[in-house]
Amino acid sequence: MDETYVRIQGVWCYLYKGINEAGNLIDVRLSKTRDMAGTKAFFAQAIGLHEDAPEKVATDGLASYPRVIKEELGEETEHEVRPCTANPGEQSHRRIKQRYYPTLGFGEFDAA
């Protein structure tokens, strides 16, 4: 699980993205904030789609992650903090950034 920032109509927003061990997309959520509420909404949406919590979640160590993982996914879900180079979520942002840079941002929130 990781997030990156994108520009939409001149406003910076955060794109939360979850992938599994094989690199397949689990869920995506666009949020105007990178805080507890945005993180909680992402995990709630992902669990709503897949109906079961993962055994382990790897993140970049954002302060809100440990608390939200315990509240939304349960105590039995392991939280692992990985540096950027070892986190496959970080690498998965390359495709969105390649589309993003030539246009200098997205035109609409829904289109992003």
pLDDT at 70: 92
| Inside any domain, residue 97 | yes
pLDDT at 96: 67
pTM here is 0.74
Q: Which domain holds residue 98?
A: 2-103
Q: Using CA atoms in the order 86, 89, 93, 95, what is the torsion angle rounded to 10 degrees?
A: 100
What type of residue sits at position 13?
A: C
**Phi, psi dihedral angles at 25 (to 5 degrees):** -65, 130
| Inside any domain, residue 13 | yes
| Inside any domain, residue 17 | yes
| Inside any domain, residue 61 | yes
Total domains, the chain: 1
pLDDT at 79: 92
| Inside any domain, residue 96 | yes
The ranges of the chain with pLDDT < 70 are 84-106, 109, 111-112
Separation CA 99–CA 67 (nearest Å): 33
| Inside any domain, residue 109 | no
